[in-house]
Amino acid sequence: MFGKAISNLMIKPGKAPVFETPDKFGLEYEDVTFEAKDGVTLSGWIVKGSTDKVIIQSHFGVQCSRCGFTQEGKGMMKNSLWTSDIHFLNQAKYLVEAGYSVLMYDLRNHGDSGQGASKWITWGQDERKDVWGAVNYISNHPTYSNASIGLLSICMGAASTTFAYGMENDMKEFSNVKSMIAVQPLTYDYFVKAMGLPGFLINSGNKVNEQRGVELTGDSFLPYAKNLTMPVMVIQNQNDPMTNMDMVKQYYNDIQTEKEMLWLDLEKKRGAAYDWLGKNPEKILILLFLNQNILDVL
Q: List the chain pLDDT tens, one digit each, 298 residues.
A: 778 988 988 999 988 999 999 999 999 999 999 999 999 999 999 999 999 999 999 999 999 999 999 988 777 666 788 989 999 999 999 999 999 999 999 999 999 999 999 999 999 999 999 999 999 999 999 999 999 999 999 999 999 999 999 999 999 999 999 999 999 999 999 888 887 888 888 899 999 999 999 999 999 999 999 999 999 999 999 999 999 999 999 999 999 999 999 999 999 999 999 999 999 887 777 666 544 444 444 3
Among 261, 295, 235, smallest CA distance to 99 is for 295
The domain at 2-289 falls in which architecture? 3-Layer(aba) Sandwich (3.40)
Predicted TM-score (pTM) above 0.85: yes
Residue 126: partners with Cβ closer than 8 Å, 6 or more residues away: 38, 108, 116, 117, 118
Compute the distance between CA of residue 188 and CA of residue 242 in angstroms, rounded to an integer. Answer: 10
Compute the distance between CA of residue 177 and CA of residue 142 in angstroms, rounded to an integer. Answer: 17
What is residue 227's DSSP assignment?
Answer: G
N- to C-terminal Cα separation, the chain:
52
Among 277, 272, 182, smallest CA distance to 235 is for 182
Q: Are 17 and 65 in contact (CB under 8 A)?
A: yes
Among 225, 226, 207, smallest CA distance to 216 is for 207
Among 157, 188, 184, smallest CA distance to 66 is for 157
**Which sign, positive or negative, has the C-alpha torsion 284, 61, 21, 53?**
positive
